[in-house]
Every structure is written in C-alpha cells, then in structure tokens.
Structure 1
C-alpha cells in the first residue's frame, strides 16, 4: 500500500464536490466546516466545483473530473475532501487520467456515501490508502463524539502506526437540518450494539478476524464489483475484510445486491464482513425487513458477518483506511477495530 504523508498543521486540504454540490441554503454550514479546518491549522483550497448544485451535481462531469485531476496532481495538496456524497461520482471514473495519476503524490481522500466510489477506485487502480469516514459537512469542531472527533488525528499518523476504535455508544436516527442551524451537531440518541448475523458464530463468546480493509456504499459497490475500479481479487494472496452499508436500497434490492455479490464470488477471499447500520427504515408495506434481507443473503456464510456497525449514513462513522491491515474484535459488551498502516 502507498500511504499518503501524515497530515499536520499547515497541510493543504483541497475541497471539491465529486458529485453533489452545496446549494445556497447550506453555504452557512459549509463556511462553518471550512473555517473549522482553518482553526485546526490546515490551509484550505476551495475548488470551483462546490457551491452550486443542479440535477445532483456541482458541475458537468468533464469540469468535475478536470478539477479533481488538478488537485490529485498538485504536489502541494495533501488531502482532498468532498462536502458529501450524492449520486453521480461514477461518471468521473472514465474521465480521470489514470496513467498520469500513477506518477502523482499520494494524498488522503476522505468521506463516505458516493465519495466511496472515488475512494475504492483510487485504492484499486493506484494502490493508495484512502479513508472511508466522516464527510466534510459533518466535520465541525463541535462534533465531540469519540469517533468523529478523531478522524483527522488518525490521518496524522505515520506509516507503520496503529490505532484502535471502539463502537460508538449512541447513533443519530434523524439528520440535523443545517439550513436551519448551521452549527448543528449530531443528535446521538439511539444505543449502539454491533451484532453477529450468523447463528453458529453468534453463539460464541467472542469473534475475532483480520484482513485488509476494502468496501463502501453497497448501492455503488454492487455495480463496481469486478470492474477495473473495484477488484479485490487482485489481492488473492491475502484475506481482506469487506465492509458495506446500505443507503437507499429497499429490502428486496438489498437482498439482490448482496446475493449478486455472493454469486460473483465477492466473499470467497474474505475473513469477515462488516455491515453498517441500514439507512432504509423498515415499514409495514414491505413484508421483508432489512435484517431479514441481510439474513437471507448472508446468514449461511461460514465467515463472521457483523451488522449494525458504525459505518454509513446513520452517524457516527468509524474511520476505515482502505488497504490497512485490520483486526476486528467483538465481545458480549463491546466491538472494536484496530488498524495498522502497513
């Protein structure tokens, strides 16, 4: 793995929207989080593909790809962040000059949701470690939960370092309205408990597995899998931990996405699977729940499958470094993950 240089005071962070931009009503929130980056000691480089949003995008695919390439190839840029995800980051992938990027300086790229489209592609094609974690619009200084408040600290660690995260205590069931309160923090009200899906493994007093991390938003990765932009089979000489989270798929779509990955052999070289909290709430009009869909697809696997993990659209998020060597441990009382940057 190629690990970007650790972030430090004075590091330059470029901001550009890979997919959805920020509409005017949310500019006050954007200004809050950008200013908070400056307070942390970073130099902020604001891109042109950021403060507009039309038909789910901040600009045309060509303009977004050009700006992203500019930042990726800029030797003075140390990290790149998008405000959040969206729907259309996939249209950037064929427009990036991947041969040129092979000679670029690795830099940290951070976020989740549609941002994970770019993260996985960068890791797969360039071998750079990337960071699946809190999105910029959530990263205000008043987010004090143990997971969110540490993400930039983790990206300041040197190659070879290790860090450990425990499960959150509570998660947010309802998103904050940043248009009404630009300074809003997470409303962490719901208790967190990581769970084991597989019946036989669930009966054990503890669960432990290790491997290199890879994954992201299931809605996207079910379509990317097996392509040049997401091919974990390239690492068949070692096992990996696959993490996935559902943003918008109904229970039947959720089942088909996971079942499709299984039929393609996506879980054959996996030591364990982490499934994030399901952002799609169960409702009486669908006879199948999200957990039932998950069980039908993955319940018979012989490897550990943990679900309701701190990954995805119901904050807070673990910081997961794609490519890092990770060890996951779950006891009756606590879940944890330790990552080593090697």
Structure 2
C-alpha cells in the first residue's frame, strides 16, 4: 500500500469540488473552514471548480477531471479535499489518466459521500491509501465532538504508525444550519450503539485491509475495473474489510443492491462487513420493509461477520477511516477501531 505523506503544518491542501460545488450562501462557512485550516498551519489552494450546483455538479465533467488531475500531478500538493460530496463523481472515472498517476507520489483524497467514489477507486486501482472522514465543510473550530475534531490529527499519523478511535457516545440526528450559523458544529443528541448483526465464529473482532464508502455509489462499481475486490483480496493476505453507509436508498432498493452484490460474488471477496448508520428516509407504512428488516433478511447468510450502526457516513459524526490500512474492529461493551498504516 502506498501512503501519502502525513498531513502536518506546512502541508498543502487543494480544494476542488469534483462532484457538487458550494453556493454563494455558503461563503461564510467556507471562510470559517479555510481560516481554521490556515490557523493550523496548512497551506490552502482553491481551484476554479468550487462554486456551482447546476445539474448537481460544480462544472462539466471534463473541467472537473482536468482540475483534479492537475492537483494530483502536482507534487507540491499533499491532499485534495472537496467541500463535500454530491451525486456524479462517477462520471470522472473514465476521464482520469491512471497511467500518468503511477508516476507521481500519492496524495490524500479526503471526505465522505460521493468523495468515496473517487477515493475507493484510487485505493483499488493505484494502491493509494485514501481517507473516508468528515467532509471539509464540517471542519470548523467549533466542531468539537471527538471524532470530527481529531480528523486532521489522525491524518498526521506517520507511515508505519497506528491510531485508535472509540465509538461516539452520541450521534447527531440532524445537521447544523451552516448558512445562518457558519461556525457551528454538529449537536450530538442520540445514543450511539454499534451492534453485531452477525458475530464472528470466534472472538469479538473483524480484521483485514479496509476499503469502502457510500453504498449508493460504490454499488455501481463493485467488480468492475474501478473497484476490483477480488483482485484486492488476492493481493492482500490479511483479507478485505468492506465498510458501507446508506445515504438515500429505500429499503427495497437496498434489498436489490444486496442481492446484486450476492449475484456478483462481492461477499465472497471480503472477510468482514461494517455498516454505518442509514440516513435514508424511513418508510411511513408499517407494511413496508424497514432498513433493519432488509439487513436481517439479506445479510445474515453471507458467511462473514457483520457489524452495523458504526460512526460512518451521512449521520454524523464520522470516524476517520484509511482505505488501504489494516484494521481491527473490536466490539464487546464498546466499539473500538484500530488502524495500522502498514
């Protein structure tokens, strides 16, 4: 696995919205976030593809891909950190020159949601470690819950080093209004409870090489040239631990997605599955399938341990997860996640 340089004072972070951009009403929040990065000693470079959400994106696909490539090819850049995700990062994949990227040092790609569409692919195709973590626009000085507040500290971990995180005490049932309160952090209000859906045959942990992201987008990439879990499992004897989080899929769509993964042999390529909290709308009718009913109906028989309701995804806060790192997730009374950058 090829790890980017640890982020530290003097590192340069490039900001480009390779999926959805920000709007003018987000200016105050963006200034707060940028000032927070600069106060920590980071250099910040802002690309031209930042503003705009026309047809869900900041700019046409080729323009977004060109700007992303320019930052990736620039070895003065240490990390690419979009403001947040979106919907259509997937259309950049055929426009990225992966052969060229073999000639440069790896850069961090950071964030969650549609950011993971690019990040997970880079880990699969280039063996670059990438980060699934709080989005850039979450990082204000008032974001003081431990998981969000420690995001950049974890990304400073030295190559060969390790760090650990414990499940949050509370998660936030809603996001702050960043337009009217541009400095605000999340307000955790609901008890967190990591749970076993399927316990391991022996012990109380899941171990392997970590990769994953947004279930809604990665489900379209499994076992393609962009996200080859079978190839990863053959390269890494530790086994592959896949993590996923549901942003918008209804229970019936999620059921179809899980069945599709079964048909394509995805679960035979991994040694464990971690699922974040679901952010999808809850069906109003008691005659409808629920999210948890889908998990119990379609994941109990996949032959690997499954842990659910972790601090991953669109129901914050977010763990900092390093795609490509070796992970050990333990769950007894409390969940603890250890990562080793080896």
Q: What is the TM-score with the length of structure 1 in the denominator?
A: 0.96
Shift of 1:82: 0.3
Q: Is the 8 A contact 1:207 1:304 kept in 2?
A: no
3-state SS, counterpart of residue 224 of structure 1 = coil
Pairs within 5 Å for 1:93-172: 93-172=93-172
Contact 1:206–1:329 under 8 Å retained in 2: no
Give yes or no for contact 2:212–2:242 (8 Å, CA) kept in 1.
yes
Q: Which shifted more, 73-82 or 260-269?
A: 260-269
Deviations 1:114-161 (A, max 9, x none): 000000111111110000110001111211111111111111111110
- CA-CA distance at 1:31 after TM superposition: 1.1
Match of 2:324 in 1: 323
Kindly state the Cα deviation for residue 52 of structure 1 after the two structures are TM-superposed: 2.2
> Within the alignment, does 1:32 sit opposite 2:32 as a pair?
yes
Q: In the alignment, is residue 227 of structure 1 matched against residue 228 of structure 2? A: no
- Cα distance between partner residues in 1 of 2:184 and 2:7: 26
Q: Check conservation: 2:141, 2:183, Cα contact below 8 A.
A: no
1:115 and 1:341 mapped to 2: Cα distance?
21
Q: How far apart, in 2, do the equivalents of 1:152 and 1:43 lie?
A: 14
SS of residue paired to 1:188: coil
Alpha-carbon distance in structure 2 between the residues aligned to 1:244 and 1:341: 20
**Corresponding position of 2:250:** 250
Give yes or no for contact 1:206–1:330 (8 Å, CA) kept in 2: no
User: Residue 27 of structure 1 contacts residue 51 of structure 1 at CA under 8 Å; is this kept in 2?
Assistant: no
RMSD: 1.4
- Aligned to 1:165, what secondary structure does the other structure show? strand
Report if the CA contact (8 A) 2:242-2:272 is conserved: yes
Quote the Cα distance in structure 2 between the aligned partners of 1:64 and 1:269: 32
**Could you tell me how far 1:165 is from its partner in structure 2?**
0.6
8 Å contact from structure 2 (residues 229, 270) kept in 1: no
Q: Deviations over 1:59-112 (max 9, x none)?
A: 110110010000000010011100000001011111111111111111111000
Compute the TM-score of the two structures, normalised by the length of structure 2: 0.96
Figure out how many residues of one structure are paired with residues of the other and give that number: 338
Asked if 1:300 corresponds to 2:301, the answer is yes
Residue 313 of structure 1 is matched in structure 2 by 314
Output the CA distance in 1 between the equivalents of 2:301 and 2:204. 16
- Offset of residue 205 of structure 1: 10
State the distance in 2 between where 1:256 and 1:166 align. 32
Give the superposition deviation at 1:284: 2.1
* Secondary structure of 2:26's aligned partner: helix
Does residue 213 of structure 1 match 2:210? yes
SS at structure 2 position matched to 1:29: helix
